[in-house]
Amino acid sequence: MFYLSKTPTIIQRLFKNYIWRFPITDRKVIYLTFDDGPTPEITEWTLQELKKFNAKATFFCIGKNIENHPEIFQKIIKNGHSIGNHTHNHLNGWKTDNVSYFENIEKANKSIQSAISNFQSKVEKKKGNNLEIRTHNSELLFRPPYGKIKPRQATELIKKGVKIILWDILSGDFDTESSKEKLLKKCIKHSKNGSIIVFHDSVKAADKLKYILPQVLAHFKDKGFVFEKIR
């Protein structure tokens, strides 16, 4: 299975309209992201691990999974994480015509906003509006599945103010051929201040995610890093 664990600088410069990482500041920050959820088998475990380290993250959710598991999606919001759009049906932009692609993104947006509104209504009934709900601008955060998007598709989204969030570190938690120890070593070796790391809260990635994520959190916390969501 071929993929790049670290996105080469030349690619980041060629496609500079995408967000690959964040600038280095005096604060030591890493941005953890999770694609493909919400998934009953792994998303709730992921939320528990993040909570142990007081870590915030960004979840790029698939619209149909939100519709199938609204209660888990609401737990992501309740825990104060950011939400991003990952299309409604995990579409490959390279293989999808533009009209269908945009329609699918919009369908996911509607699923996200509907679920957020439902959660907000519950909170207002129970506690008033004391919980921070505006923790995400999901209509403006988008990650193309597989990282594959046509230039025209990207241009149209950016014109609408959408931030296309890619990554500089790919954890490889989906990799069925590499050992979890090797994947962890690469992830720690390549990650640095400002890095955006991709994980997957999916069934396929669950086994390796359960090994890699806790150790990444512990390692970088010991090094003085904090984990923040993308806004």
Please state the domain count of the chain. Answer: 1
pTM attached to this predicted model? 0.94
Domain-embedded: residue 185: yes
Domain-embedded: residue 67: yes
- Give the integer Cα–Cα distance in Å for 75 and 78: 5
Task: Give residue 125's pLDDT.
Answer: 67
Cβ-in-10-Å burial (0-12, 13-18, 19+) of 166 comes to buried
Cβ-in-10-Å burial (0-12, 13-18, 19+) of 26 comes to exposed
Structural domain range at position 150: 9-227
Nearest partner of 30 among 207, 211, 187, judged by Cα: 187
Task: Give residue 170's pLDDT.
Answer: 98
- CATH number, domain of 144, equals 3.20.20.370
Task: Give residue 119's pLDDT.
Answer: 87
Q: What is the mean pLDDT of each run of 10 residues along the chain (231 residues)?
A: 93 96 94 98 98 98 98 96 97 98 97 92 65 56 98 97 97 97 98 98 98 98 98 91
- Give the integer Cα–Cα distance in Å for 24 and 41: 35
